[in-house]
Structure 1
Amino acid sequence: MSRTLAVVGAGTKAVAVAAKAAELRDMGVEAPDVVAVEKTGVAANWQADGGWTDGQHRLGTSPEKDVGFPYRSNLVPRRNAELDERMTRHSWQQYLISTGQFAEWVDRGRPAPTHRRWSQYLRWVAGNIDMSVVTGEVQSISVDTGADGHRWQLHTADQTVEADGLMITGPGQPERSILPGNPRVLSIAQFWHRAAQHELISAERVAVIGGGETAASMLNELFRHRVSTITVISPQVTLFTRGEGYFENALFSDPTGWTSLTMAERRDALMRTDRGVFSARVQDALLADDRIRHLRGRVAHAVARDGRIRLTLSTIKGGESLETVHGFDLVIDGSGADALWFVPLLAQDALDVLELGLGGPLTGESLQEAIGDDLALTDVSPKLFLPGLAGLTQGPGFPNLSCLGLLSDRILGADLSGAPHSSTSRRGHEHQPIR
């Protein structure tokens, strides 16, 4: 019986999984039908219309870490090399060769592509495999308990998509901000819309909330605007640089041994390499711009007063909570992606299924700790894949673009028959290939 895997969003992860599933079927190997439900288009978040970029900034990850990377498939015994060879047909280099850009890219020193160019690559892959995309915005997610077992139901305004497994991707809603509707507070989407329209910001004191790569890309853009000072607000003690040496990068490409680390060691590695850190390229730019300042704290309150935005920052000093107030002419809320953005979409029956499997209330912590080696929640049926939350238990590369080929292996090797797997029985075992 053919199974269906639905994906919320037609982004990089959806394209990677769909491409490998297509190659498996061409090899005569059973693989689920992958259906992406997308409100805009394939790779929309990498273009200006998606609200997360103006499309002109550079990809932070090497483009060679494409939909097949690291090309070490473990799905089909004795045929994995063939599967890897097939996936090279969808590689970044093959895209450049097919579009007549390879020689120029090499001669220019293999530069990081713009976000827009990366989206064009992903659309090229999706076109090659005739990727199935249902146009529509998911408004709610429920569980159907029919005679054929539990299945996910994704409801859009016009139709319902049913699936045996569900993967949720994407960073959430870029339209949110701490003071919606106030012209002196810009959401991520509003900021990038102005940048895409080449509308320069003119202000004395500007604040950027957030210490991760979303905020970093905004700072990179703000360098060319007419602003006197730029204050970065983040809870970290300073603006840390992301580790980009071999040993740090290897953690992302190959998580072998990750599960042998203690939870404390994993959290420490994530904080040093992935969360709340800027890339070395952006840090170099910050060093050359004396307009940049850093304020430590979390925004506890925001209010518009006397033509300015006053932010109340909360910090912990000496074990006590301290609040300070700071005024700015413009605030850009770049606090970043919300890994739990999908929770409001879950109908009560879906929430019941998740809480039953988790053995308690649904929280960010409980979701992260319950993700198994197939990147789905253990003890939950039907399967719910949450690669964006899999960093803690499975490795730091899964939430981003660092090991898309391994991500697709894990997901396509999962059992979508509807039988939940015990987290205790799975712990300590390697991912099983398709038989």
Structure 2
Amino acid sequence: MPTLAVVGAGAKAIAVAAKAAELRAMGVRAPDVVAVEKAGVAANWQAGGGWTDGAHQLGTSPEKDVGFPYRSSVVPRRNAELDERMTRHSWQSFLIATGQFAEWVDRGKPAPTHRRWSQYLRWVADGVGMTVVQGEVERIGIAERSGALGAAERNGALGAAEHSWALGTAETTVYADAVMITGPGQAERSVLPGNPRVMSIAQFWHRALAHERIAAERVAVIGGGETAASMLNELFRHRVSTITVISPSVTLFTRGESFFENTLFSDPTGWTGLTHTERRDALARTDRGVFSARVQDALLADDRIRHLRGRVAHAVARDDRIRLTLSTTQGGECSETVHGFDLVIDGSGADAMWFVPLFTQDALDLLELGLGGPLTAESLQDSIGHDLAVSDVYPKLFLPGLSGLTQGPGFPNLSCLGLLSDRVLGADLSHDLTRRFDEHQSVR
């Protein structure tokens, strides 16, 4: 049975593992799913994970769970059976199993806290017996074609194909026929590391978790997405005089949440028929750099909030302040302005390319061979195929976090985990890799 290794044990890994388990229970061939995780299952949704204090509410509906939208297409003539099986891992099933369903309904079906959502995800992972290898992935390379793999360490259900990805941690090496990379990267990065007047996402939430009040006159929050939004929600409770939100957009836009906009996430059937410009416009309107309606309501009620348009080009500490140089483009001309703050919180969010430094040179060569050119964020995004993997790269490399532009806005987030698992599990992992590997060796 082929092995699919997933970097990170979050919602995407759990959704794929759950559907793979149900497929095997139906007697259908499905890969063994092994998550490699440095902290714990659903760690980024828990206090201490660096991305939240666990007390803030989930930005999407909890009904968009690991099986949503329950419209499987991976098993002809048996998809209805698969959907029925997946309902056993639904949000409602979790609430029923833990005695919380009636209360949730009576309270008007509120959005759960991040902590409660992590409990749900762990419940699903435990229920399907998801294999988790504890450790931080330090390198991702291509295993040799020789018989060396026959002596490779095996861990539980782990197998080693003749041509494999090799994921190295400090403790072990995991071999897999395909790899899926998930997660937002490092929450510790900031525009001015080491300065006490500049806080990373992780530093901010660790301070909130310790109930340490922030006291400052002028505070800047960099970022216009949901990561920054949840930080603003917390910051309202602290002793600050003004809060300036810095983002590249002309204003703080509200995320489109009507039926028509939500459909783009749960049913991306017509997405590939749109032009690149239309897709980028849709992403900008519904997903990237926008706040939910709930957060916008809170912003409207607080007169301390300001907005500055621009990208942070430079940051420097001077005269007990952090001076940020903001770059903006108007009419094709670039201009820069400097603004001073007592405290800067870098909530600009994830780096979509955070995983690239993990690749060994062999792996980078293989990716550039498949891409037909240099490895960039743009080339990777444009190369993502229907199965959410990089086209013409074998063994398969699934990058759902970069698939929004080519496949639809729901795949990078929590909005269509059931469709995501269909795409990944429906991929062909049995390609003859000899020709591709030989081409790779010839260009070295």
TM-score interval (norm. to shorter)? over 0.9
2:216 aligned partner: 203
Q: Which amino acid aligns with 2:280?
A: R
Cα distance, 1:146 vs structure 2: 1.2
Q: Which amino acid aligns with 2:13?
A: A
Structure 1 residue ranges without an equivalent (≥5): 421-435
Structure 2 residue 99 is matched with structure 1 residue 100: yes
Answer yes or no: is the 8 Å Cα contact 1:164–1:418 preserved in 2.
no
Match of 2:341 among 325, 328, 338: 328
**3-state DSSP of counterpart to 2:174:** strand
Alignment of 1:36-435 (within 5 A): 36-147=35-146, 149-419=162-432
Q: Which amino acid aligns with 1:384?
A: L
Q: Distance in 2 between matches of 1:295 and 1:64?
A: 35
Cα distance, 1:417 vs structure 2: 1.3
Q: Distance in 2 between matches of 1:418 and 1:170?
A: 27
Q: Distance in 2 between matches of 1:287 and 1:416?
A: 50
1:423 aligned partner: none
Q: Which amino acid aligns with 1:284?
A: D
Structure 2 residue 40 is matched with structure 1 residue 32: no
Q: Distance in 1 between matches of 2:91 and 2:419?
A: 16
Structure 2 residue 3 is matched with structure 1 residue 4: yes
Normalising to structure 1: TM-score of the pair?
A: 0.95
Q: Which amino acid aligns with 2:369?
A: L
- TM-superposition CA deviations, 1:63-88 (whole Å, max 9, x none): 00000000011111111111111100
- TM-superposition CA deviations, 1:219-265 (whole Å, max 9, x none): 11111110000000111111111000000000000101111111111
- TM-superposition CA deviations, 1:336-366 (whole Å, max 9, x none): 1111000000000000010000000000000
Q: Distance in 1 between matches of 2:432 and 2:258?
A: 41
Answer yes or no: is the 8 Å Cα contact 1:149–1:418 preserved in 2.
no
Cα distance, 1:150 vs structure 2: 2.4
- TM-superposition CA deviations, 1:192-213 (whole Å, max 9, x none): 1111111111000000001111
1:427 aligned partner: none
2:439 aligned partner: none
Q: Which amino acid aligns with 2:389?
A: A
- TM-superposition CA deviations, 1:136-162 (whole Å, max 9, x none): 000010011315542100000010000
Q: Which amino acid aligns with 2:379?
A: S
**3-state DSSP of counterpart to 2:260:** helix
Answer yes or no: is the 8 Å Cα contact 1:57–1:115 preserved in 2.
yes
**3-state DSSP of counterpart to 2:64:** coil
**3-state DSSP of counterpart to 2:314:** strand
Q: Which amino acid aligns with 2:240?
A: V
Cα distance, 1:419 vs structure 2: 4.2
Aligned pairs, number: 419
Structure 2 residue ranges without an equivalent (≥5): 147-160, 434-444
**3-state DSSP of counterpart to 1:77:** coil
Answer yes or no: is the 8 Å Cα contact 1:172–1:338 preserved in 2.
yes
2:157 aligned partner: none
Answer yes or no: is the 8 Å Cα contact 1:21–1:31 preserved in 2.
yes
Cα distance, 1:317 vs structure 2: 2.6
**3-state DSSP of counterpart to 2:285:** helix
Q: Distance in 1 between matches of 2:108 and 2:236?
A: 25
- TM-superposition CA deviations, 1:40-91 (whole Å, max 9, x none): 1000000111100000000011000000000011111111111111100000
Q: Distance in 1 between matches of 2:139 and 2:102?
A: 46
- TM-superposition CA deviations, 1:278-298 (whole Å, max 9, x none): 111111111111100000111
Identity %: 82
Q: Distance in 2 between matches of 1:318 and 1:21?
A: 51
**3-state DSSP of counterpart to 1:49:** coil
**3-state DSSP of counterpart to 2:48:** helix
Q: List, as ranges, runs of 4+ consecutive aligned residues in structure 1 with deviation greater than 2 Å.
A: 147-150
